[in-house]
Chain A
């Protein structure tokens, strides 16, 4: 398939050169499968095979783009797409800066993170995997929900500035398994991210669900008092908060526009906990990485925070062009965010529950519907979901109703961090909006942060 894609892009490139126009071409192909479960049944079993082409035309400081869903056989349609973008660019207004046209200095081809075994898992195999995880855990009232999403994703690009192509193909899977009580409305969840088929581990998913079910089926949920808690966050909550931190923290363009909790003078300063190290590391295959960006800049390990010291903003090409900055190789569909593990030896939820504790600890595995209350101060809000537990200092464990946390990310990753688990894992943060874009963040399994305020506590689910 690679040859046909590159051949087609080259034909389109030659067409543009013959017309005497400047364009970049961005090609995306996805073969997506999703099996969705609800009420212990398969509520939807779907697949889409889609090819998208986006043509960006440049004319001096002017830029316009045209996107289409197409097929490799429809070369004439694609040529018309080039014509349309080139017609549009004539009528737009020049930018106040000169937009960069992508140039690839040499061919960039990366097929190392593609596992056909994962991308083409059959319907029967996916159903079998789910059955293995939940066998015997469902009851008349405890129902299975979840997804098994897998697929193949290809991004290719070329521009009129050079004959060298850009081509990256990856395989991915996202598994999310929820067991929910249909009358009492509690929910517990376990999730997994896979880049290769061998990353899938039914036993691990099952063990976490069994531990949570033990507490949720035996204990009576309680409304916990408002106030300050020492909180252990699970991987999902950590990943979500890191996503928001990189959005309203590390993005140089947003900082320039006043939409960031970090300022230029913070570079080189200790802003976070010494235990906190956060990097963009495209060498980690679990993050479905891009080792070159779409403007041809090689991508290497890029420290954002090292031992609490803020190191650098990331600059997308267009923001770098506008604000006269050097681009940092971050113009890719997603980054390879990795938070370093700490010193605490905790490999499973069971280990956390067994650990002796000198104070009550609230365990929040997942934060639902997070949003930014005040970007300048880094304040976010969200509610606990999917298996929160209150670990009492006397060793007992209580099931709490969901609670709301409204907090600054500068505090969450700041000096209030008590410890960070040593072990890290990829947490799949893919959304299925628009074109497939498998994404995951490497995060510690657990992180304990002391003295955070719970601002709302439910009296039911």
Chain B
């Protein structure tokens, strides 16, 4: 098969294509189980295989994909034809940043392949979780397991050939309950990534059990609590909401395709301009953010991106100053040319596609905030006069240029004079992105740092769902409007 792919690539090169690549997925398999109030509502598996072909011709992209490998000529011709028509409307001919051509293999670390674990063992885990969540006051309880495994073979016209096998496990628990006014509240546990691998071995029964009990306890507290007041306070964000703040107002805002206007038809743009790199004070001096695709245990690590560029660990924001972006080979060339200066030194290795039938676009890897020097969570609470401690994502809505946001959280506890006083329900906070990050006044130490994951980040047309991670500490921001 690889020889046939190489022949097709050469054939299109001979027709005038300046670049051709192919992602062949021999397999991509999934297995999902969902238990809702004791009922195993969903037990499903899937398997797909196919091939996606990307062609650059006269500065324009064409793409075509099919699950039918019996007529490669037709598939490659279709991709070429799509590029040929696209070349009729080119404003900035696509160029690709230099990279080394490599032959390489990557396999995500996994000690126990979840596809070799029996269905009976998976069901037993869910039954145990369901039993723990089945408590008075809990009206809905959900436990779920989701496993994915895929093999990708990447071949391009520059001589690269890369094989990847990626395995991921996503598990989660959720409880819901009704307060005295009939209002619904929720509490979730999406386990932070621990250890150095990402297979079935991450399903640690004791860890899940402890957290099942915790979320039930915290839900009950919320159900009894008074409404969150409308107020201006310091907000202390635990990793369970800090990851989403980072995702929405640093991650998406720093995708270079958004900055260059390639998502204006759908996902939106970014308030960041090319002029801002090296200058914009994005946050306070306590803020250092990075895109680190080299962490071992998260779905934001993949060895090589779908341009064939090796995974990297790059600074995005250095002590508050914007210095980097999330990028692939195409966008860095265009950004440097438009800015008339070399802002970016090559691709940051973040171009990924969600399936063989989608085209790679700039995606977050692991967008992390470095731990700080403001101590433990207890230290930060002790040093807060009037605040609110928040955790758990409940709702999120962000302006189209990522310039402002509104978040609702699952749990909130008021902090007065250095100690937690009482829980509140329906906690929300909102703000404008740059002033908010500039109000960052405390960053927790490594003891507060957790690697959270996002299993369903949507972007692009046709739409693509991507998995990635966020390593974040507890952070405190001052003078934030809450309760609206």
User: Which residues on A are within 8 Å of B, measured CB to CB?
Assistant: 32, 34-51, 63-71, 73, 84, 88-89, 91-93, 95-97, 123-124, 127, 143, 145-147, 149, 176, 178, 180, 182, 185, 187, 257-259, 263, 318, 322, 368-377, 381-383, 385, 402, 404, 406, 431-433, 455-456, 458-461
Contacts and interface: CB of A to CB of B under 8 A. Distances in A.
Contact of A45 (B39, B65, B83, B396): B83
Nearest to A90: B119
Nearest to A56: B44
A258 B399 contact: no
A92 B123 contact: yes
B43 interface: yes
Nearest to B182: A376
Given A48-B357, A92-B119, A259 B261 contact: no
Given A39-B261, A461-B403, 18 more contacts: A39-B92, A42-B88, A43-B262, A44-B359, A45-B83, A47-B82, A51-B67, A64-B43, A67-B44, A68-B47, A145-B261, A178-B264, A180-B264, A187-B269, A258-B176, A385-B268, A404-B430, A455-B484
Given A258-B178, A370-B397, A383-B404, A47 B88 contact: no
Contacts of A49: 66, 68
Top 6 nearest A-B pairs (CB, nearest first) are: A69-B48, A432-B462, A42-B86, A123-B85, A67-B46, A45-B82
B127 interface: yes
A37 B265 contact: yes
A374 B65 CA distance: 41
Contacts of B373: none
A458 B403 contact: yes
B397 A382 contact: yes
Interface string B15-41: 000000000000000000000001111
A66 B46 contact: yes
Interface string B55-75: 000001111111110100000
B4 interface: no
Contacts of B403: 458, 460-461
Contact of A50 (B83, B357, B408): B357
B406 A36 contact: no
B269 A180 contact: yes
Interface of B: 38-50, 60-68, 70, 78, 81-83, 85-86, 88-92, 118-120, 123, 127, 139-140, 176, 178, 181-184, 260-266, 268-269, 271, 357, 359, 394-401, 403-404, 406, 408, 426, 428, 430, 432, 458, 461-463, 465, 484
Q: Which of B42, B50, B395, B461 has the most CB of A within 10 A?
A: B461
Contacts of B183: 374, 376-377
Contacts of B432: 458-459
Contacts of A96: 38-39
B60 A42 contact: yes
Contacts of B400: 187, 368-369, 383, 385, 402
B401 to A, nearest CB: 6
Contacts of A404: 397, 399, 404, 406, 430
B85 A124 contact: yes
A178 B406 CA distance: 25
Contacts of A35: 86
Nearest to A85: B45
A314 to B, nearest CB: 18
A40 B89 contact: yes
Given A123-B85, A404-B404, A39 B260 contact: yes
Q: Which of B86, B432, B465 has the most CB of A within 10 A?
A: B86
B396 A371 contact: yes
Nearest to B65: A48
Contacts of A65: 42-45
A433 B139 CA distance: 31
14 contacts: A41-B91, A45-B63, A46-B462, A49-B66, A71-B68, A92-B43, A96-B39, A146-B265, A185-B401, A258-B139, A258-B184, A376-B183, A406-B484, A458-B404
Given A49-B66, A66-B46, A382-B397, A40 B359 contact: no
A404 B114 CA distance: 44
Nearest to B139: A258
Contacts of B396: 371
A34 B109 CA distance: 36
A38 B123 contact: no
A440 B336 CA distance: 41
Contacts of B44: 64-67
Contact of B85 (A45, A69, A322, A459): A45
Contact of A69 (B50, B397, B461): B50
A68 B399 CA distance: 37
B139 A458 contact: no
B96 to A, nearest CB: 15
B397 A371 contact: yes
A30 B270 CA distance: 33
A50 B265 CA distance: 25
B45 A88 contact: yes
Contacts of A263: 182
Given A71-B67, A381-B395, A373 B408 contact: yes
Given A42-B60, A259-B184, A404-B399, A456 B406 contact: yes
